[in-house]
Amino acid sequence: MTLLIIICIALLGIILGIILYIIRIYNQLVELHNQLGNAFSQIDIQLKRRYDLIPNLIDNVKQYMQYEQDTLNQVIKARNEASEALNLVSDSLDLSSVKKLELAENVLSQTIRGLNVKMEAYPELKANENVAQLSQELISTENKISFARQFYNDSVTLFNTFKQSFPQILIANHFKRFQSDAPLLEIEDKEQIKQNIKTDFYS
């Protein structure tokens, strides 16, 4: 009789332990998933800052670069498209919308680079304090974007590895929001970013 009671208690203990373990894994999944959202919102802040800076810069540059209307319009268009793509991603963080943002961001980066090259031809632009400050700020925002993206990608890796390993995968598959892997974000060439970081602040 006592043996039976002991076995029952042991079984109950084991079941309770398993339930607690499952709860813990679920909570960890939620935590990592939320961290992902938070990491993305950090990129979001920096990208929005960049989208605010671009029209400002264009306004300041306009009077000097009257013959470059095409380039300026291109930049504005690319900026608007990227901004829209970002709004889409903010609503739902899935693979297709992230890919769209990546594309729009790549186009924007290219057009800005083109604008920078064109600006070299106007020495009076360099003398303008506003323009110098704005382009400096744009560069530093780009650095921050790359760091924010790095943190986001790290969190994605952490979440995906945790989710895909055993026994977490058994639990993750039961919940819809944990089923798909989180998408990595690769906006620019890695080499390009490295160069950006190294050259910016000594200039």
Partner 1 sequence: MDNDWLNIYSTSTTYSKPFKSTWTYLFVEVIAILITVFIALGISFVCVRFFIKKPKHSNFFHHQNIAKSNSRLLHFSFWIICIVFVLAFLNISTLIFYTFFKADVLSPFAFLDFHTFLYLHSFELTLASCLTFLLLIVLVVKYIDFTRKKNDYEFFKKQFRIIEYNNPQINTIIEEMSIASNTQKPLVFFLKDNSINAFVTILKKDNQEQYALVLTRGLILNLNRDEIQAVIAHEFSHIVNQDIQAGLQLAGYAFCLDFFSKLGLSLLRTLSKTRRTSSKKNNGANLILILGITMVLIGYVGSLGARLLQSLFSKQREFLADSSATQYTRNPEALLNALIKIDKFEKNNTQLQSHNKNALSTYSHMCFSSVFKGIFSTHPTIKQRIERLEEILKLR
Q: Which is nearer to partner 1, 143 or 168 (CB)?
A: 143
Q: Give me the DSSP letters along 122-169.
A: -HHHHH-HHHHHHHHHHHHHHHHHHHHHHHHHHHHHHHHHHHHSTTHH
> Degrees (nearest 5) of the Cα angle 140, 146, 150?
145
Which residue in the set 106, 147, 171, 196 belongs to the binding site for partner 1 (CB under 8 A)? Answer: 147
Least spacing, CB of residue 185 vs partner 1, in Å: 14
Q: Which amino acid is at 30?
A: V
Residue 166 interacts with partner 1 (CB under 8 A)? no
Report CA-CA distances (Å) from 65 to 112, 121, 125, 136, 175. Answer: 15, 10, 9, 19, 55
Identify which range of 74-82, 102-110, 168-176, 195-203 contacts partner 1 by CB under 8 A.
Answer: 195-203
Q: Which is nearer to partner 1, 46 or 109 (CB)?
A: 46
Least spacing, CB of residue 201 vs partner 1, in Å: 6
Residue 202 interacts with partner 1 (CB under 8 A)? yes
Rg (CA), the chain: 25
Residues 23-82 touching partner 1, rule: CB under 8 A, are 35, 38-39, 42, 46
Residue 108 interacts with partner 1 (CB under 8 A)? no
Q: Which is nearer to partner 1, 83 or 146 (CB)?
A: 146
